[in-house]
Amino acid sequence: MKTYFRILQYTTSLKKYIVPYFILSLLASLFGILNFTLLVPLLNVLFNNVSPTLVLQKPVFDLSPNYFTALFNYYFYDMLQTNGRIGALQYACGAIIASVTFANIFRYLSQRLLKTVEAETIASLREAIFTKTVSLHLGFFNNERKGNLMSHLTTDIQEVENSIARAFTASLKEVFSLVMFFTFLFSLSVKLTLFSMLILPVSGGAIAMIARKLRRNAKEVQENLSSIVSTLDEVFGGMRVVKAFNAEKAIVRQFTQINQTYKKSVLRMVYRQEMTSPTSETLGVLVVAGILLYGGSLVINNEGGFSAATFIGFIALFSQVQRPAKVIADAFSGVQRGIASAERIVNLIDTVPSIQDKPNAIDLPIFAKSIVFNNVGFSYDGERQVLHQISFEIPKGKTVALVGESGGGKSTLADLVPRFYDPTQGQILIDGIDLRDISAESLHKQMGIVTQESILFNDTIENNITFGSDATPEAVVEAAKIANAHQFISQSLEGYQTKIGDRGSRLSGGQRQRLSIARAVLKNPPILILDEATSALDTESEKLVQEALTNLMKNRTTLVIAHRLSTIQNADKIIVISKGRIVEEGTHESLLQIPNGYYAKLSNMQAN
């Protein structure tokens, strides 16, 4: 239950609703039980087993269950003396109707409160999971499947939502109902109630054994469901490739295999879960049969000290004990699925980001001098070394370009500047301050990034450009003009309010890239990181956008990653990286003069 106590931390309204819920549940249970305690005097009337001259004293009010029974008996026997057996019968029937009505009213009101707590808890928990997830470092998302993260916010949350109501109902309402039932049962027969309590633990033990195994099955189901969500995300996101390579059959086979694995795990869980109810019901019938046998012998032998009507009332009341007991048993088995999902959620919430601000992190002042790489080395998860002793400087207002073969470490090097990762050796300094001593928020405020892949959202063009800022419409238009995007935006059906589809699917590759560039232009940062920013543009658009970027980079510090050397010829310094090491550096002209140089070979290859 420790997991559930963690989840309840997100129930901000619990303190407000717990007392009203408890009171309403108490009243609902109380009136529900009274329905059956009223059977005894009703049966006595039907069996003509009451004395018309019996005089009772009106009870003094208290909160014990016996008070309500005594109060009913007082008016019942008064009605019997005044109007005879028919009048007493009418009174008893009316009391039962009133008791049922009140029980259902209070039950409805308690369920309203329970659903409110449930909804607020799930909303707070989902927000906490999402907030935690987006705060994690970039490396976490490289190692975690997106479908698994999505399942935390959907299926895992749904399981927790379903089990919260069960847990509350079982731990509060139904437990209280059981206590009330046994209180009334003791008032009817102490000996028979003690006998029933001796054989009830047999049912509870069987249910507990089933529930322990059920949690393992539930965890397996959630993990397999995460695999399905991940597969769907990958397939639908890469449908163009699937079609191009005629891979539909292969994808269907892969999905079928995953789906069959999920089906088998679900069946194992469901078979065990469905075993809970019939097991508890069968054991419950055995308990009732034992009580009938034992209690019936007491009545027949006149040893129980109670009448046949009281015994029938006891049996009727005890039969209702099976309902809360069955609800608790079902809830206990159903909660196991919620616990398995809650454990997955708690593990995510407890994930410690490897990249986080120090307690005494400072805010970066306005960038003034330079960015310095000092013997920087990097490896992912301590495995293959990606960067080796990288040292260079980017003075303020200068442009440094990184070139080299794919997989050489250029993008990794660029990712270290906004501190998406921390170097495993050496340090990166901005104006003499180690990046690890600077708050991430203040660092990112001074950087603009345009990546090789255009990251756009299913929203309007304007909202994609203003992403994360509160720019005016005029500023948005100006940024779009600089990025050579204004013309195609103006020709769209709804202009800047045009929806661009999932990941910008309604735009061409060049259009998507120009919107990404416009977003960086609008931010107007002192430091720019351009990772193949023009790679998706056609020749005409590339020329126009490159001109815009050249104007944008004036008086800014820019780190450019490029494969096409024609886009970086005017860079102040070009650094050639091969296998994670700097092999050459200089200007475009100076690098071309190196005999058999790496850069010169790249230039000749692209020229030919």
The three-state DSSP-derived secondary structure of 510-525 is HHHHHHHHHHHHHHCC
Q: Report whether 284 contacts 325 (CB < 8 A).
A: yes
**Residue 300 banded pLDDT, cuts 50, 70, 90:** confident
- Looking at residue 105, its pLDDT comes to 92
Q: Are strands 385-395 and 370-379 parallel, antiparallel or unpaired?
A: antiparallel
* Mean pLDDT value of segment 18-35: 78
Model's pTM, two decimal places?
Answer: 0.63
Q: Which CATH class is domain 2-349?
A: mainly alpha
**Residue 20 banded pLDDT, cuts 50, 70, 90:** confident
Percentage of residues in the chain having pLDDT higher than 90? 3
Q: Which CATH class is domain 357-444+572-608?
A: alpha beta
Q: Where are the domains of the chain?
A: 2-349, 357-444+572-608
CA 568 to chain centre: 45
**Residue 374 banded pLDDT, cuts 50, 70, 90:** very high
Q: Do domains 2-349 and 357-444+572-608 have the same CATH topology?
A: no
Q: Is the pLDDT of residue 530 over 60?
A: yes
CA–CA distance, 492 with 596 (Å, rounded to integer): 50
CA 103 to chain centre: 36
CA–CA distance, 135 with 83 (Å, rounded to integer): 76
User: Mean pLDDT lowest for which of 142-151, 249-258, 354-363, 421-430?
Assistant: 142-151
CA–CA distance, 229 with 150 (Å, rounded to integer): 7
97-111 residue pLDDT tens: 888 888 889 888 888
Q: Is the pLDDT of residue 541 over 60?
A: yes
